[in-house]
Amino acid sequence: MPPAFPKLVAFDLDYTLWDLWIDTHVSPPFKRNGQELNKVVPRRGDPIQFYPDVPEILHRIRKEGAYIAAASRTSAPDFAQEVLGLLLVPPPVGAPREEPRKANTFFDGKEIYPGSKLTHFKKLHKKTGIPYEEMLFYDDESRNKEVESLGVTMILVSSAGTTMELFEEGLEVWRRKRGSRTEELE
């Protein structure tokens, strides 16, 4: 039997999927040079790119059939939405014939606005009907651990951003929590 996988995997954006604050480090207009993969150039600031492992992580979650969400408290939601619409995610490793996809097509839900992450997850729960215990969340700010009060499993992202190793560690933490809850119910 394959290991369990969360029904919903959510990510903060700033310093979780890319290495900047979208509301302070860059300014529009944003553009992509042709079909350049994983790079958007702002008028001011460094190029915006996903951390190196993020494209493969997104493909993995999509392959597992889980709901993918962005949960960001940025004060520049329009910038974040625009960049997600411009970033081209390369095809999965080993599938060179597949076409690159815009990053926003990976995200089934986008809760991108200022405010508590509790609100973001309550809205995701209401929209999807997915129980909080079936949600896994990656974020770089420890204050957002507050979502664990709902039953969401949160993984704190270091300054290295979301790596494949951290993603796998998060899955294991989620599985252990789920296993201990299952044992308690029996």
CB contact set of 66 (below 8 Å; sequence gap of 6+): 5, 6, 7, 8, 9
Consecutive H or E run containing 102: strand 101-102
Domain boundaries, the chain: 8-185
Tell me 20's DSSP state. S
Extract the tokens encoding 34: 């042709």
Consecutive H or E run containing 43: strand 41-44
CATH number of the 8-185 domain: 3.40.50.1000
Q: Which of 14, 23, 108, 140 is catalytic?
A: 14
Is 76 in contact with 23 (CB distance < 8 Å)? yes
Q: Which of 12, 78, 108, 139 is catalytic?
A: 12
Q: pLDDT truncated to tens, each residue of the chain (186 aa)?
A: 456 899 999 999 999 999 999 999 988 999 999 999 999 999 988 999 999 999 999 999 999 999 999 999 999 999 999 999 999 999 998 877 889 999 999 999 999 999 999 999 999 999 999 999 999 999 999 999 999 999 999 999 999 999 999 999 999 999 999 885 544 433
pLDDT number for residue 179? 83
Is 76 in contact with 17 (CB distance < 8 Å)? no
Structural Rg of the chain based on CA atoms: 16
CA of residue 144 relative to chain centroid, distance: 14
139 annotated active-site: no
**CA distance linking residue 130 with residue 134, whole number of Å:** 7
108 annotated active-site: no
